[in-house]
Structure 1
Amino acid sequence: MEFDLTPKIAQPLIEGNGGGYYIWLSSQVPLLAKTNVGAGQLVLQPRGFALPHYADSSKVGYVIEGTDGVAGMILPNTKKEIVLKLKK
């Protein structure tokens, strides 16, 4: 099986003064559709804010650059909020 692993540019889903959310379309990256995986990139500007949301799927995230960020999470089967300091 052969995979096209050439870099693709993410398409903007929403953009604003505080940052934006970008996605890779399965039509451009057939491997995403084949493996039933989605891919997105959240870019926050300094002092930017991402609204809380609910996701019914597992997510993996990592910080590429920047400091002094925080993320709050409520894990499944618990009502306790966890606040994590993000760092590169």
Structure 2
Amino acid sequence: MDGSEFREHRPFDAVVAEMGTDPVQELYDELLDSSTNLGAVDLAELLAQEPQSVMRNNDDSFQLFRIGDAVAGRNVHAAMLDAAHLSRTI
């Protein structure tokens, strides 16, 4: 259901439903304020495959990144590529 009142009844042999994706971001939100980068990514460093140097919170010790479908509706390959780029310099 998409929230509209539109209804149509027709016979079909098969139905494929694409319902989209909604990121589950509760854990990300919970960790965000405790991360050193506050979730920020330096895109120039990312594309150059350099370590992420964004420092917005000196009181904590871990970086936090959102990847894959948590960024936008994409596929598993995009998530793997994001993870590879971000972790390559660790």
- TM-score when normalising by structure 1: 0.25
Question: Which structure is richer in relative contact order (CA contacts within 8 A, separation 6 or more)?
Answer: 2
Relative to total residues, which structure has the larger helix share, 1 or 2?
A: 2
